[in-house]
Structure 1
């Protein structure tokens, strides 16, 4: 590995599984001291153990990203322990599923608490810390193709992810002068616990893969590599960008079936 993150401190939300876990592992492989957070301690501990077994540096913090006090407190405490914060990855999300006409107001709001509010709280906190530290930094927010294309039965989630996209552009404009970059990665279908239901059998998987030009769903490690790039100094002149990592799904109207 190139150790391109050597000496940097990174905080990753939703780090116990899927894209968050893969990102934490990848950042640690490149030399970062990684702090991961999530609601359940056991999966966080498993990721930390894997990172440490490979010689990396990591720690876990149990915190609900949908709770402002918990999430902000976790980021601030990590920065205090390590003396700095260089990278924040807002990856945690929550969603509801169902037809629009039967979606309750409570279900609608449930899509925003973690995905939008959590991204706002995390980004605001990181901007303050990175500006105060004087070293700048990188914030990478994880969105979704659902935020760019209409997705039936996921109206709330789609609206929340669309909010993340444009919020990130505004944050990039505000952070640029202080050297704080804010970018977005935009996955489509990635094989994670959150998508296990839609990929539960071969027929469902084949139906999904037919819509993807590359003919397969994504792997968490592929998203982690994109996040690593945007977090690293190799992307020093990139801010306000939304990078699709979707096998070409967003590039086409339809594909031949």
Structure 2
């Protein structure tokens, strides 16, 4: 399988690239220093470069994202314009741009699979994670992925979302080092028994959605959240 991983230097993205490579797949991993898919034209550049390098594409992973806390993301009544614009650009616009670029290429190859890393927060509100821009971006990603899945299905192109809870990555460091949040992990993610998910666990879910084992799955949101969404 020939796979493009966007966000390849991040915690989840790098875990995906490593797992796919270890599984014998041909992988091109890009980040914002090589092809920034969160900027206009970046997704087209990434898809074209990967398809050229690999001789085509069978799979695409979108693992690009950011928190807007430092920019003022928070409750609707307090969220700043800067946080709103920046978070939606990185978390939502980049998915749109990547899907728009990838769908024709996968269709031309006879089919393929796209997996977008979303968030359990898209469906489950929580007092410690009430960030309007982030929540909106991840919720919208699910609808966008379903629209792409509907479009791509007749041509054998699948599009799915993996929705983690808290993952032990640099982006989650603020929450995981906050005693008020870390003390709630047994409640928030009961499968973890007090621990956040590992990036490798999310990568395993991504790899399954890319593989023929999930050939009949499209337009789905896979909760890989340690039980977060059960609340």
Aligned to 2:125: 150
Q: TM-score, normalising length from structure 2?
A: 0.91
After superposition, the CA RMSD in angstroms is: 1.5
Aligned to 1:64: 36
Residue 12 (structure 1) aligned to one of 5, 11, 35: 5
Residue 56 (structure 2) aligned to one of 84, 88, 92: 84
| Paired residues, number | 223
Structure 1: distance between partners of 2:82 and 2:168: 28
Residue 18 (structure 2) aligned to one of 25, 29, 35: 25
1:161 aligns with 2:138: yes
| Alpha carbons 2:8, 2:17 under 8 Å: kept | yes
Highest Rg: 1 or 2?
A: 1
| Alpha carbons 1:95, 1:110 under 8 Å: kept | no
Give the direction of change, closer, same or farther, for the CA distance of 1:67–1:235 in structure 2 (3 Å limit): same
Q: Secondary structure at the residue paired with 2:28?
A: strand
1:140 aligns with 2:115: yes
Structure 2: distance between partners of 1:170 and 1:162: 13
Structure 2: distance between partners of 1:236 and 1:89: 16
Aligned to 2:209: 230
TM-aligned CA deviation for residue 204 of structure 1: 4.3
TM-aligned CA deviation for residue 201 of structure 1: 5.8
Structure 2: distance between partners of 1:221 and 1:178: 31
Matches within 5 A, 1:62-141: 62-97=34-69, 98-134=74-110, 136-141=111-116
Please list the CA deviations of residues 73-122 of structure 1 after superposition, one character each: whole Å capped at 9, or x if unmatched: 12112102221011100110123123432322222111111211111111
Q: Secondary structure at the residue paired with 1:31?
A: coil
Q: Secondary structure at the residue paired with 1:170?
A: helix
Structure 2: distance between partners of 1:105 and 1:15: 28
Structure 1: distance between partners of 2:58 and 2:106: 7
Structure 2: distance between partners of 1:154 and 1:147: 11
TM-aligned CA deviation for residue 222 of structure 1: 0.5
| Alpha carbons 2:37, 2:46 under 8 Å: kept | no
Structure 1: distance between partners of 2:81 and 2:166: 27
| Alpha carbons 1:12, 1:34 under 8 Å: kept | yes
Please list the CA deviations of residues 195-254 of structure 1 after superposition, one character each: whole Å capped at 9, or x if unmatched: 1111126664233333222222111100000000000011111111110001111012xx
Unaligned runs of 5+ in 1: 1-7, 41-61, 253-257
Structure 1: distance between partners of 2:153 and 2:112: 10
